[in-house]
Amino acid sequence: MLVYLIRRLVNVVAMLLVVSAVTFGIFFMVPKITGSDPALLYVGKIADKAAIEGIRHKMGLDKSIIEQYLLFLKGIFAGRDYSTGVDVTHCSAPCLGYSFKTERAVWPVLLDRLGVTTSLAFGAAVLWLVFGTATGVVSALRRRTLLDRFTMTTALAGVSLPIYFTGMLASAIFVYQLGWFPHDYVAFTDDPVAWFQNLLLPWITLAFLYAATYARLTRATLLDVLGEDYIRTARAKGLGERTVIGKHAMRSTLTPILTVFGMDLGGLIGGAVLTETTFNFRGLGYEAVAAISASDLPVIMGVTLFAGFFIILANLLVDLLYAVVDPRVRLT
Amino acid sequence: MSKTQTQAQSRLRKAAGAPEGFLTVRDLRVHFPTDDGLVKSVDGLNFTLEKGKTLGIVGESGSGKSVTSLSIMGLHRTGTKRGAPQISGEVWLDGEELIGADPDRVRQLRGQKMAMIFQDPLTAMHPYYTVGAQIVEGYRAHHPGASKKEARRRAVEMLDRVGIPQPDKRVDAYPHEFSGGMRQRAMIAMALVNDPSLLIADEPTTALDVTVQAQILDLIRDLQQEFGSAVIIITHDLGVVAELADDILVMYGGKCIERGPADTLFESPEHPYTWGLLGSMPRLDRELQERLVPVKGTPPSLINVPSGCAFHPRCPYAGLTGGRSTTEVPSLAEAAPGHHAACHIPAAERHRIFTDEIAPRL
């Protein structure tokens, strides 16, 4: 178990290295292909040659790609110094460089954005997990009834409608027409009540999308499980229907849902791009979109690493949890 | 039907007089409505089983064996739900009628008075719970007052009784950590934990390899002698019931076509289908046969059951009935004391065919 854990953690680091190397490669290659100059992006359009050279030297852009990558890694683990020869800017670890646009250090900005994204993701996750699975269970147990058909049609709509449609619609009605919800993000630490109120609509919108998937998955899995021999055995033992379904069937149904849930949550923390853009929440996804449209390469790099980290971490957690839930899974 | 009506009917039946036998099945019919038509899985089945006796129900796939056992246990989904079978007839267990009884009453009897062992012990046990936990659950379902400790002690005792080594350790193992034979032993322990007086074993050895099969059958026999319960063994393998069963019931197309004491039935089978089954069975006590002879053709459709005798399309002797086999459903007639067969071929003719043509080949 411990050996497995160590091996997996080493794996996480290796994966992140690969992700960073690939992203860095793209980061390095793109200016070459498009003919733009990162140093030029940084100083702005009107600058003299000397200033550009100075920046190029300061940002280490005159070094080879390998050196630049190693400097980048060093920045993450030990921090790095940007020196023009005259003045030295120290960027303490973990250093992801400076935004071309705002000249702010990337790491603190992303940390700040992470609060928005996690608030959004966790709140929505609770909603969709509870309502999605509950709807799926009810639907499976009332199979082929009117209720089942209604919920499954709604779920189909939930899966099919893109978030920028449902999100816009919800905003138009509940925020702008009815004025029920304010729509600016307020940090939890500033005002928990406002935090909750302002996030409620995005939570519901995002949860609707995921709950639909979970309802369908739960329904299908539970129906499968109810056909299993061990369910018949449980009934043959004389157990009540409540125990048969609530204990025996649900235990098997929730296992695959756990896997999907871990992945979804990990992916969402990496950036709920569309939701954040739709509701104008400045989270990681929003930051990514802004960085891409501005060719703000250090920020793109940082967001990618963040997203990669959370997805890989979620995978690891799901694998570990699986071993707890399913006794047949051995971690070796 | 409302609950009170059901109970009233149940009482009425009781007043009408419960049958003498421990388990009596009268005119059991289980029909499944499907989009293609009505599937008559069991169509008018009758039998009686006494305590301490073993009944073997034999037949090929789709003959209605398992459906019968699930009906007795009340394990079919009932009500007006789609796919739920229409069940009629009577099942009397120790003076109590089960088909029309309150489902909750049947649930109480399930696992306590009547228990069941299933075919594949790997899929029949929940993969996420330990073997012990699953036995404990069965015990506590019918002994609500029993403490966890007490139930666990009982589980260990049962595992020991069915021959699982180191039961106090194995009780905490998961089903996948057991071998096939051990899993079936654990299933038996689970079924017997409440000392049921009726044990139904549905193909208990089909999923096991041959050496383990014999051990499991021995175990079932030993336990039956010890507890004096009534046992129904359902199988497609006459070899399984040959040694174990006191009585044998052969099913074909949802009906009983022959039944009688095991030794008589093996010695002088009456029905051509039973001959076919015997001919397709390998025997160790005879000289090597050239080939095993299969019963020609395929099992009948249960939606469009062949007219007359359901076996007539496959029966090599159908011509001897003077055309009755296609028009008239044969009824069970006593061929010897306690030995019944449903066949239109005249008895004398049947005996001649068996002694001249069939017996030498067996």
In terms of C-beta distances under 8 Å and separation of at least 24 residues, what long-range contacts does B160-164 make, across chains too? B161/B189, B161/B192, B161/B223, B162/B186, B162/B188, B162/B189, B162/B192, B162/B219, B162/B223, B163/B215, B163/B219, B164/B189
Tokens linked to B139: 């015990």
**pLDDT at B313 > cutoff 50:** yes
User: Cβ separation of B111 and A252 shorter than 8 Å?
Assistant: no
The tens digit of pLDDT for each residue in A272-322 reads 788 888 888 888 988 888 888 887 888 888 888 888 888 888 888 888 888
User: Cβ separation of B174 and A328 shorter than 8 Å?
Assistant: yes
pLDDT band at B329, cuts 50/70/90? Answer: very high
What distance in Å separates the CA atoms of residue A113 and residue A107, rounded to the nearest whole number? 10
Q: Chain B: residue nearest A327 by CA? A: B128
Q: Which of B82, B141, B187 sits opposite A238 (nearest CB)?
A: B141
Chain A residues within 8 A (CB-CB) of chain B? 144, 228-230, 232-240, 243, 248, 251-252, 255, 325-328
Are the beta carbons of A68 and A61 closer than 8 angstroms?
yes
Question: B-chain residues within 8 Å CB-CB of A248?
Answer: 126
- The maximal CA–CA distance of chain B, rounded, in angstroms, is 69
Question: A-chain residues within 8 Å CB-CB of B174?
Answer: 327-328
Order of strands across the sheet that contains B37-49: B37-49, B23-34, B86-93, B96-97
pLDDT band at B320, cuts 50/70/90? Answer: confident
The tens digit of pLDDT for each residue in A170-208 reads 888 888 888 787 767 778 888 888 888 888 888 998 999
Question: A-chain residues within 8 Å CB-CB of B75?
Answer: 232, 235-236
**Å between A287 CA and nearest CA of chain B:** 44
Are the beta carbons of B60 and B69 closer than 8 angstroms?
no
Are the beta carbons of B341 and B333 closer than 8 angstroms?
yes
User: Cβ separation of A239 and B116 shorter than 8 Å?
Assistant: no
User: Cβ separation of B75 and A236 shorter than 8 Å?
Assistant: yes
**Å between A12 CA and nearest CA of chain B:** 29
CA atoms within 13 A on the CB side of B33: 10
pLDDT band at B289, cuts 50/70/90? Answer: low
pLDDT band at B3, cuts 50/70/90? Answer: low
What distance in Å separates the CA atoms of residue B48 and residue A167, rounded to the nearest whole number? 68
Phi and psi (nearest 5°) for A168? -60, -45
User: Cβ separation of B190 and A237 shorter than 8 Å?
Assistant: yes
Distance from CA of residue B332 to its chain's centroid? 19
Per-residue pLDDT at B151: 96
**pLDDT at B15 > cutoff 60:** no
Q: Chain A: residue nearest B175 by CA? A: A328
Question: A-chain residues within 8 Å CB-CB of B176?
Answer: 327-328
- For the entire predicted model, the pTM comes to 0.83
What distance in Å separates the CA atoms of residue A27 and residue A40, rounded to the nearest whole number? 15
Q: Which of A233, A238, A248 sits opposite B124 (nearest CB)?
A: A233
Per-residue pLDDT at B343: 93
**pLDDT at B169 > cutoff 90:** yes
Round the average pLDDT of chain B to a whole number and report it. Answer: 88
Per-residue pLDDT at B1: 44
Bigger pLDDT: A62 vs A216: A216
- Interchain CB contacts (distance < 8 Å): A and B: 75
**pLDDT at B13 > cutoff 60:** no
Question: B-chain residues within 8 Å CB-CB of A144?
Answer: 82
Q: Chain B: residue nearest A235 by CA? A: B75
Collect all residues with Cβ–Cβ distance below 8 Å to B42 and sequence separation of at least 6.
B28, B29, B30, B64, B67, B68, B71, B254
**Å between B68 CA and nearest CA of chain A:** 14
The tens digit of pLDDT for each residue in B40-56 reads 999 999 999 999 999 99
Q: Give the closest residue to B345 by CA, choosing from B324, B321, B323, B329.
A: B321
pLDDT band at B194, cuts 50/70/90? Answer: very high
What distance in Å separates the CA atoms of residue B45 and residue B57, rounded to the nearest whole number? 12
